[in-house]
Amino acid sequence: MSKKLTKLNKKDELPLQRYLHITANSDSAEVLELLHPGSFATIENQPNDLPPFQVINCKGGRCWVRQQSWGKHVHWEVEHNRLKSA
């Protein structure tokens, strides 16, 4: 059993523009780091003597963080893109 390979003729080739869609690279697309509740993160330009913040929750581009010394009912809302995992 031998198989014969054949080359497509120009008329048999499918036009690429119907099947291949190329999009421009978007600079507005931003990949955000996944921050789980209970993990620790620092805020951009955070002083070195300030300990990392504990992440309470992240949703819709916003994260609620707190300092352990603040107590459980005091938190701060921060934009997700300003946070970096500690």
For residue 39, what are the CA distances in angstroms to 2, 11, 68?
Answer: 61, 59, 12
What tens digit of pLDDT does each residue of 14-57 get?
A: 555 555 556 666 555 566 678 999 999 999 989 999 999 999 99
| The total number of structural domains that make up the chain | 1
Q: In what order do the strands lie in the sheet with 83-85?
A: 76-79, 62-66, 53-59, 40-43, 83-85
Q: What is the pLDDT of residue 71?
A: 85
Q: What is the pLDDT of residue 47?
A: 92
What tens digit of pLDDT does each residue of 10-21 get?
A: 555 555 555 555
Is 57 domain-assigned?
A: yes
Is 22 domain-assigned?
A: no
Is 81 domain-assigned?
A: yes
Is 20 domain-assigned?
A: no
Q: Which residue has the tokens 């819709």?
A: 60
Is 13 domain-assigned?
A: no
For residue 79, pLDDT over 60 is answered with yes
- The top-scoring range by mean pLDDT among 8-12, 25-29, 63-67, 72-76 is 63-67
Domain that holds residue 70: 31-85
Is 39 domain-assigned?
A: yes
Is 5 domain-assigned?
A: no
Q: What is the pLDDT of residue 33?
A: 77
Is 36 domain-assigned?
A: yes
Q: What CATH code is carried by the domain that includes residue 72? A: 2.30.30
